Amino acid sequence: MYSGPGVKTSKDVPVPDTMRAWVLGNPGELKLVEKPVPVPKRAEVLVRIDAVAICATDLEIIDHGPPASILGGMPFNKNFTPGHEYMGTVAALGPGVDEYKIGQRVTVEIHAGCGQCKRCREGMYTSCHNYGLNYGDVDKGHRANGFTTDGGFCEYQVNNINTLVAIPDAMSDEEATLVVTAGTAMYGLTELGGLVAGESVVVTGPGPIGLLGVAVAKAMGASPVILTGTRDNRLKIGKELGADHVINVRNEDAVEAVRRLNGGKGVDYVVECSGAPNAVNDAIRMVNRGGKVCLAAFPHGETPVDVAHIVRNNIYLYGIRGEGKSATHRAEAFMSQKRFDATKIHTHTFPLDDLPTAIRYAKERIDDAIKVVVKARGVAAHRVAAE
């Protein structure tokens, strides 16, 4: 029977001893295995995973390894379960936990910092100085599920209570998986200055973070909000999520278009979500003097940057990692108040057993896939949204 020292369970949410879990073998190779259901420790709960979204970073980890780091190294052949954008139902409470109830629906942030380093104490737990140190003699208790510890492509996972975000009954499982994505966009805007009401924002790259970046910026009162990209179908969704203007960079020069659309001046902020080779040089020419650029996408190689232009124009560059400073709570508040409809970027749902198919849809953008969600129960096999 499932149990652990000081762990509370309830017959309302029965917990089995073992679960189905996908594990990473060699690069690109996922295997479905049985694993023991993990047991929560102090300040942790067990979450029954009801839905998990696939992220471009998952594809990166599965095929190449970084930014995942398991036992201080590459994540291959270590019985590691990837997946990090999940939500579910609290199924067991670790010792001393009274902040959440069994049966409560939650979505989860990825990063539980160590809680004791300088950055964690500043609320920058996604930049924890003990990142990845959750094993061996120097175990600092850091967790980034799906990156440094087991993630969500399975049926149950333990989470630190600091990573939980309560969600209302009215929010669907699929929508709740998008809270972390919206939270990442929110964190970017927080780092740029926080209050963007009346200030001009460009978002470059209409991927999930970019599209929800548009939605969050608009909800925060930014004006105008301009989205650039190469795919008209995605730019159209950007308009539905609140972009005042969209620019297809295949048809016109993005820097010129941005300046024209903002009265000949550059904008106050750019949130760079494309990772395109010239994205940084374009972004620093889209902002006005003293403007700020948030870099939220990681390109593969090194990129030459016009440093002289940055210095002469007093431009600020911010790299952001993940969803720090409780940004997911603020993003969830916008979503539960229906300030924007994040489900516009959810396109497909597959059962957990069909994860490889789901990944193929996400990777190859089959049928215009944007966010592909996987569910352990309640989804018939081979059902796709287009049917």
Contact residues toward Zn ion (CB under 5 A) are 55, 57, 113-114, 117, 120, 128, 130
Find, among 90, 109, 103, 3, the residue nearest to 46 by Cα. Answer: 90
Residue with smaller CB distance to Zn ion, 126 or 349:
126
Residue nearest to Zn ion (CB): 55
Residue with smaller CB distance to Zn ion, 92 or 178:
178
Residue with smaller CB distance to Zn ion, 143 or 245:
143
Residue with smaller CB distance to Zn ion, 62 or 222:
62
Give the bridge partners for 223, in sequence order. none
CB of 84 vs Zn ion, minimal distance in Å: 6
CB of 211 vs Zn ion, minimal distance in Å: 14
Main-chain phi, psi angles of 117, to 5 degrees: -85, 170
CB 151 within 8 A of CB 38: no
CB of 6 vs Zn ion, minimal distance in Å: 25
Within 8 A by CB and 6+ apart from 250, the residues are 230
Residue with smaller CB distance to Zn ion, 37 or 120:
120
Residue found by looking up tokens 């002289």 in the block: 308
CB of 264 vs Zn ion, minimal distance in Å: 37
CB of 224 vs Zn ion, minimal distance in Å: 28
Q: How far is CA 274 from the centre of its chain?
A: 15
Q: Which two tokens stand for residue 12?
A: 């309302």
Residue with smaller CB distance to Zn ion, 189 or 255:
189
E strand segments, the chain: 18-24, 30-36, 44-53, 85-93, 105-108, 111-112, 143-144, 156-160, 164-166, 201-204, 225-229, 245-248, 267-272, 287-295, 316-319, 346-351, 371-375
